[in-house]
Structure 1
Amino acid sequence: MLIAFDIGTSATKATLHDDDGTIRAASSASYPTAYLVGARVEQNPDDWYRAVVSTSQQLLAKTATPPAAIKGLCVSGQMMGLVCLDRSGTPIRPAPIWSDQRAAAQAADLTEALGDEHSYEVTGHRLAATYTLPKLMWVRDHEPENFSKISRICVSKDYVNYRLTGEVATDHSDASSTGAYDIKNKTWSNEVLAAAGISNDILPPIHSSIDTLGALRTDAAAELGLQPGIPVIVGGGDGPIASIGAGCTASDDPPYLSLGTSAWVAATTHDVLSDPQRRGFTFAAITPDHYCPCATTQNAGSTLEWIARLVGSDTPTLISEALSLTDPDPDLIMVPYLLGERSPWWDADARGATIGLTPRHTRADITRAALLGISFTLALCLEAVAPEDTSPRSLDAVGGGAQSDGWLQLLADIVQLPINRRNVTTNATSLGAGITGLVGLGQLSFSDARSASRITATFEPQTRQYRDELQRFTEVYRTVKKIDDLPRFGKELARS
């Protein structure tokens, strides 16, 4: 058996896997996120490790699994963050996570130095504020004392792996989410780092996701309740590793939707995504010699959870109410970008807006407008990953939001494709991490991933009514963007 850990945005989940990848049991532990002025979003890296310790202990206790039965560990984690370590391996400051947008100016400077098209060609990404490298440049520019202490940087799963093994390293999937990686040559880009003014000495070495990083340290084993010396497999970033759990491991597998705190559309290919509009981006895949083209929205479950907090309800109840409306108002439109936006707009300064409110609107109407805004954004993401001339015949769906029949039907109607719910709605990343670990241990191959989960429901398109609404949504976003770009004292204060 193997234990996989998924370092998520709001919690860490540990899953116990049989040798065929089946998830036998799961446990989770949450941690706080600090939302600060200036679009800054931070977590404490040590909270991630404490959650790993807690969930390992919970998992062993609830299943009465003897420590000797655990033959290895594998970690996946949220991507694009920044952990700054000093010479002793101690975090120097809290970690800006993926949704942190403070480094917009640094991303713009780097893009200007390299050129829009060339930087996209080298890295496979637009160099936006979400990525690790601009965040590191921000620390250099605004916290020079902290920057001078940096011996090594890494991301969430790498820090946990360091605590487990004493080795600081990353894998190709996470490296490809930093903005400092040469996507075609699969190595750190000296050209990009030179333009950023960052030495590659502080970047970690890059391994295959299925390599053994090291043996579980004695002190970590005592904390987790495991035997020392078992192998820790390198693992990968949560987006590409979710592709494994969703059964999307080869170029002939259908793309998939993941509906969580953020949401994305992804596929597995042999080639880097070619998108002249640069709406999507490309990760190195977990499977060797493959790529993971992707387009992602910052704002999915996070926007729905914000509405739920405002009205004192919960997200599943609100979704049910919204999709039960008998006479919804097509003129109520929400731009759901509370945290800035990545695909397809790449607008770190984007903000949310609701247009067309009247006294008759209820919380259900507002939630429906949010669902439509999120779903329209995902439709635009699909156009980036799978252009019309290469459109897939169906999409798979995973993530917590995929538990909603109504939301999947809405998405099927908008994208005009059948959508298949897989039975790993809340466990795709965990299953992917488990399979990756078992491949690393020699127990499985990646070809086993497709059969490790199954389709439980299919939602066929039933209406074509949303094409005009999608067009209006894009027009409203552009109008809101013009308004939001007007000079405002508050905006300038937030950036200072």
Structure 2
Amino acid sequence: MSVAAVTFAGLDVGTTTTKAVLCDPAGRVLGRAERPTPLGESDAGRLVAGALDALAEALAGRAPAAVGVTGMAETGVPLDADGEPCGPLLAWPDPRGAAQAAALADRLGAAALHGTTGVRPAAKAPLARWRWLAERAPAALAAMRGWAGAPELAVRALTGRLATEVTLAQRTMAFDVHRRRWDAALLAEAGLDPDRLPPVLPPGRPTGGVTAGAAARVPGLRAGTPVLLAGHDHPVGAWAAGVRAPGQVADSLGTAEAVLTLAAGPPDAASALGQGMGFGRAVDGATWYLLAGTGSCGALVEWAGDRLLGLPPGAERHAALGALLAAAGPGPTGITVEPYLTGRSAPAPDLGRRLALHGLTPEDDRAQLALAVVESTAYQARWMVETQAALTGHRPEAVTLLGGPVAQPRWPRVKAAVSPWATRVLAEPHAPALGAALRAAEAAGHPTPKPLPTERLAPGEEENAAAYQRRYAEAFLPLVTARSPDRAAEPAAEPAGDPAGDRTHDLPNDPRQQRS
């Protein structure tokens, strides 16, 4: 194979869709494909089949020099001694494990758990799920000889080997992020020991080579091609976008939104926990990240599109939202949205917070309301970035945006107007899959790929940056940080399910309050 013909494949097993790409060493995409990600209890086999189908379509018979795999964390399935599922596929939004997470927090202390693992106690954490299996499906746990997350399932299908890596292992709440090993005492809380968990490979070490069976299943793949488990999708996407050094920040937008700041070492764990943030090692194994998440992104826009804006479903929704935003007139609006569909996990965790609109008047139309919803996601993200800057001691020079919503012409321009730092945009929609491919290139002995190109973005002519920044400081922050006496105290653990989950939420009885 000539140097010019070298290609790399990447696979991203996401919550909604599984994406596959084929790229050259510069990150130029030569082929891409998607498949829906099935997350039913018996869907482990279908999840793998969809991933391999997507990979086959992206390759179109071409042979990559290496394959990288990334994807969502927490979702997984117990495997028996033969490598077959011996219990249900448990998706991360599934509420099973909530009581067990709360019990672990009560018994061991939320601060102690978080300090060791970097994870806040939550139903989605596999350690809580393993305790749930012990109580509700003991035969499955007794038969368990391995645990495979969604990306690990895909890697196992390609290589015949089960292993994990640090950025995924540390999402289980059973991995000591400081010592980089399974925590035997935490595993014992679920009746497990480290021998019943997969080995944790160091960054950049391939799990194995493509098997002959996988090569026959995916035209173009060659037996022996190295396959790398690149890591958790958020850190992998950030790495692809050039967020690789302490102080650099990525804002990953999708159904939910994640803000990730890199640092030279771990943050003060108590301070991070107090702000509802997790931490862990980045994909290079040397730097650390601080991670804040919110459901107040695509899920909020989807909710508003269904309930308030009357947007069409399916493929037409993106264009319809864009048209509304274009028609909204200059920003900022006089409407302030508290963007919390299922409470706020970070910063200043307040799980009693609910969606509320302030300042909506009878004169406001759907376009103004659409812009106000987008503004609220930008305000919330700025708050997360500023809080991480205080925790890490790194004031960002720039924040890099990536994910589906950056394709909206106005949405990232509103973010640029709200932010006091430079805003850069990665236009590539499949950053984690492409990042996995480029991480695999490095693991296969090729030079470390350069970051994907990003563009510095200025606010649009219709955005008044000074007014947006005043609005953030004088309207948004005071509203979302004011304590409401009727709200219950925050529980010890995170919500049982997806913070961007599909639930029914009520607006206040009279959202048309006077503008503040």
Task: Name the residue aligned to 2:425.
Answer: 421
Following TM superposition, by how much is the alpha carbon of 1:44 offset from its aligned partner in structure 2, in angstroms? 2.2
CA distance, structure 2, for counterparts of residue 100 and residue 114 of structure 1? 23
Matched, 1:150 2:150: no
The one-letter code matched in structure 1 to 2:197 is: L
Task: Name the residue aligned to 1:489.
Answer: none
Percent of residue pairs bearing the same amino acid type: 24
The one-letter code matched in structure 1 to 2:21 is: T
CA distance, structure 2, for counterparts of residue 354 and residue 423 of structure 1? 31
CA distance, structure 2, for counterparts of residue 148 and residue 361 of structure 1? 59
TM normalised by structure 1 equals 0.85
Aligned with 1:8 (options 14, 21, 28): 14
Check the 8 A contact 2:300/2:339 in 1, yes or no: no
Aligned with 1:168 (options 147, 162, 165): 162
Task: Name the residue aligned to 1:38.
Answer: none
CA distance, structure 2, for counterparts of residue 13 and residue 297 of structure 1? 23
Matched, 1:229 2:224: yes
Matched, 1:185 2:179: yes
| Bigger relative contact order (CA 8 A; separation at least 6) | 2
**Mapping of 1:467-482 within 5 angstroms?**
467-475=473-481, 481-482=487-488
CA distance, structure 2, for counterparts of residue 408 and residue 480 of structure 1? 35
TM normalised by structure 2 equals 0.82
- The change in CA–CA distance for 1:413 and 1:135 in structure 2 (over 3 A counts) is farther
Check the 8 A contact 1:71/1:230 in 2, yes or no: yes
**Mapping of 1:65-76 within 5 angstroms?**
65-66=61-62, 69-76=63-70
For residue 262 of structure 2, give the secondary structure of its aligned residue in structure 1. Answer: coil
Task: Name the residue aligned to 1:491.
Answer: none
Q: Per-residue CA shift, 1:377-436, capped at 9, x if unaligned?
A: 322321332118632122111111122342223223334222111232x12212211111
Check the 8 A contact 2:14/2:37 in 1, yes or no: no
CA distance, structure 2, for counterparts of residue 74 and residue 387 of structure 1? 34
For residue 344 of structure 1, give the secondary structure of its aligned residue in structure 2. Answer: coil
The one-letter code matched in structure 2 to 1:185 is: R
Following TM superposition, by how much is the alpha carbon of 1:171 offset from its aligned partner in structure 2, in angstroms? 0.3
Q: Per-residue CA shift, 1:303-340, capped at 9, x if unaligned?
A: 322333453421452255146424876355343324x6
CA distance, structure 2, for counterparts of residue 443 and residue 232 of structure 1? 14
Check the 8 A contact 1:245/1:430 in 2, yes or no: no
Aligned with 1:26 (options 32, 52, 56): 32
Matched, 1:396 2:390: no
Following TM superposition, by how much is the alpha carbon of 1:484 offset from its aligned partner in structure 2, in angstroms? 11
Instruction: Identify unmatched segments of 5+ residues in structure 2.
Output: 1-6, 492-502, 504-516
Q: Per-residue CA shift, 1:223-248, capped at 9, x if unaligned?
A: 11122221112221101111211111
Aligned residues between the structures: 468
- The change in CA–CA distance for 1:332 and 1:240 in structure 2 (over 3 A counts) is closer
Check the 8 A contact 2:35/2:50 in 1, yes or no: yes
Matched, 1:344 2:343: no
For residue 379 of structure 2, give the secondary structure of its aligned residue in structure 1. Answer: helix
Task: Name the residue aligned to 2:497.
Answer: none
The one-letter code matched in structure 2 to 1:98 is: W
Task: Name the residue aligned to 1:250.
Answer: 245
The one-letter code matched in structure 1 to 2:54 is: T
Q: Per-residue CA shift, 1:439-472, capped at 9, x if unaligned?
A: 1001122xx433x323253449443222122224
Check the 8 A contact 1:104/1:348 in 2, yes or no: no
Over the aligned positions, Cα root-mean-square deviation in angstroms equals 3.0
Check the 8 A contact 1:79/1:156 in 2, yes or no: yes
Matched, 1:285 2:291: no
Following TM superposition, by how much is the alpha carbon of 1:33 offset from its aligned partner in structure 2, in angstroms? 4.8
Matched, 1:306 2:309: no
Task: Name the residue aligned to 1:380.
Answer: 383
Following TM superposition, by how much is the alpha carbon of 1:4 offset from its aligned partner in structure 2, in angstroms? 0.8
Task: Name the residue aligned to 1:449.
Answer: 450
CA distance, structure 1, for counterparts of residue 226 and residue 394 of structure 2? 41
Q: Per-residue CA shift, 1:106-143, capped at 9, x if unaligned?
A: 22211222223222221122222232221222222233
Check the 8 A contact 1:2/1:17 in 2, yes or no: yes
The one-letter code matched in structure 1 to 2:438 is: I
Task: Name the residue aligned to 1:50.
Answer: 49
For residue 154 of structure 1, give the secondary structure of its aligned residue in structure 2. Answer: strand
CA distance, structure 2, for counterparts of residue 350 and residue 202 of structure 1? 40
Task: Name the residue aligned to 2:499.
Answer: none
